[in-house]
Amino acid sequence: MKLLRFGPQGHERPGLLDGNGVVRDLSGVVADIDPATLTDEGLARLRALDPERLAAVPEGARLGPCVAGVSKVVCVGLNYRAHAAESGMAEPAEPVLFMKATTSISGPNDPVIAPKGSTKLDWEVELGIVIGKTARYVEKADVFDHIAGYCVVNDVSERAFQIESTGQWVKGKSADTFCPLGPWMVTRDEVPDPQALRLWLEVDGKRWQDSTTGDMIFTVADIVSYISRFMTLLPGDIIATGTPQGVALGQKPQPWLKPGQTMRLGIEGLGEQQQTVQSYKD
């Protein structure tokens, strides 16, 4: 299934994408695409529905973040071999973790707002894991029992905030609109091998990132098991699994994003996003 949320910001309703690409309204069935819906039982209930009996949503409706009720966004840094190389850094011996504030979450096609003082705005297409079952000290063999599905994430970053000042990476990762999610969450049964997905990103039609999740240093199973050693993962939590080579940071010269530019990105089988960069306005 492809589950999504549609409608005005802050007033999204739950929906699904049927086999013909029509968005169907789930608001008469579930309250939202939230932790209660993401359990195995909740997803089984939705699979039993006949989508054609659900009301069709008018074309052009805004898509919101594909998951609601996210308690945390956990990210993995330097998790692609070629990206570590372009960054001039050694491959990490264990996953590098950081967080994005939940207030950074936005819809897949909403504008990305450059924060005040931004000078080095960057893009990062990433495979997102959506947790469906509480995960605490999970063995690798059991990881997939705890995953509801997957989605596209753009881990938008302000590199000057992230790298050039003191403190943690979270400062360069957490501005409003820095975590577009969606367009939909694809349930795990439709992604038989998350380590064999092509992912890509373009800016104004120029392709900068084009790789596969097979270049990950730490796999989906590695990542979920590892993170669950240090914190409890709750249904609805998002894990951004790292980005491949081709970010602005790794280029010479570095083509930082500017207001008016448009990013388009996607992952095989998980859909596409598109965001235009705008300047912050008080």
Q: Is residue 168 part of a domain?
A: yes
Write the DSSP symbol of residue 265: E
Q: Is residue 273 part of a domain?
A: yes
Q: Is residue 43 part of a domain?
A: no
Q: Is residue 54 part of a domain?
A: no
Instruction: Provide the pLDDT for residue 86.
Output: 85
**152-156: average pLDDT:** 98
Across all residues in the chain, what is the average pLDDT?
Answer: 96
Neighbour order of strands in the sheet with 198-203: 112-114, 271-279, 262-267, 198-203, 206-212
Q: Is residue 179 part of a domain?
A: yes
CA angle in degrees (0–180, nearest 5) for 245-121-236: 75
Distance CA 34, CA 273 (A): 21
pLDDT band at 217 (very low <50, low <70, confident <90, very high): very high
Amino acid at 67: V
Instruction: Provide the pLDDT for residue 165.
Output: 80
Strands (E), the chain: 2-6, 13-17, 23-25, 73-77, 96-100, 105-106, 112-114, 121-122, 125-131, 147-154, 157-158, 179-180, 185-187, 198-203, 206-212, 238-240, 262-267, 271-279
- pTM for the model stands at 0.97
Share of the chain above pLDDT 70, in %: 100
Q: Is residue 167 part of a domain?
A: yes
- Flag whether pLDDT at 46 surpasses 80: yes
Share of the chain above pLDDT 90, in %: 94
- Flag whether pLDDT at 282 surpasses 80: no
What CATH number does residue 91 fall under? 3.90.850.10
Nearest CA among 237, 218, 271, 280 for reference residue 99: 237
Total domain count, the chain = 1
Domain coverage including residue 195 = 64-279
Instruction: Provide the pLDDT for residue 88.
Output: 82
Q: Is residue 59 part of a domain?
A: no
Q: Is residue 36 part of a domain?
A: no
